[in-house]
Structure 1
C-alpha cells in the first residue's frame, strides 16, 4: 500500500481518534479508507445522477424540436402541477 502524509484539522483528528477508540476501527488508516470508499460511492452516485439529468435535458430538447410542447399561463401551470401531484399521491395511497 502507498503511504501518504495528510493534514487534518483538529476536529477531523478528534473524529478519527474517537472512531478508533470506539473499537469500530482498528486504526486511523482504516477510518480514512472507509471515508474514501464513501466518497467514491457518493461521486459515483453524483455522476450517475448527472448523466440521468443530461439525458432528461436531451429528451426535453428533442421534444421541443419535434413540437411536443404545451403552452401554459402561470395559473394553468400551477393547476397542472397540482393535478399531477394529486394524481401521484392518490396512486401511492391506493397501492
Structure 2
C-alpha cells in the first residue's frame, strides 16, 4: 500500500490522537481514511447539487427564451407577488 507524508496542524494532530485514543480508530491511517471517505461523499453530493442547479438554470433560460417571465417595477412589487404566491401554495398544502 502506498504511503504519503502528510503535514498536519497542531489542532489536526491533537484531533487525530484523540480519535485514536478513543478506541474508535486503530491508528492514524483509519482516521485519515474515514476523512477521505467523508470528502468523497461530500464531493458526490456537491456534484449532484451542481447538476440540479444546472438543470434548473436550463429550465429557467428556456422559459426566458419563450417569453415566460414577469417584470416588476419595484422590489415591493416583487415581494407582493411572491407573498401572494406563497399564500396560494400554503393554502393548497393545507387542503
Spell out structure 1 runs of 4+ moving beyond 3 A: 84-90
Q: How does 1:43-58 map to 2 (within 5 A)?
A: 43-58=43-58
Measured at CA, do residues 20 and 89 of structure 1 come closer, stay the same or move farther in structure 2, by a change above 3 Å? farther
Task: Report the number of matched residues.
Answer: 93
Q: Does 1:2 align with 2:25?
A: no
How far apart in 1 are the matches of 2:65 and 2:37?
42
Equivalence for 1:40: 40
Equivalence for 2:85: 84
How far apart in 1 are the matches of 2:10 and 2:24?
20
SS in 1 for 2:8: coil
Calculate the TM-score normalised by the size of structure 1: 0.86
Name which of structure 1's ranges 69-78 and 52-61 shifts more when overlaid on structure 2.
69-78
Q: Does 1:26 align with 2:19?
A: no
Gaps of 5+ in 1: none
Calculate the TM-score normalised by the size of structure 2: 0.86
**Root-mean-square deviation (Å):** 1.7
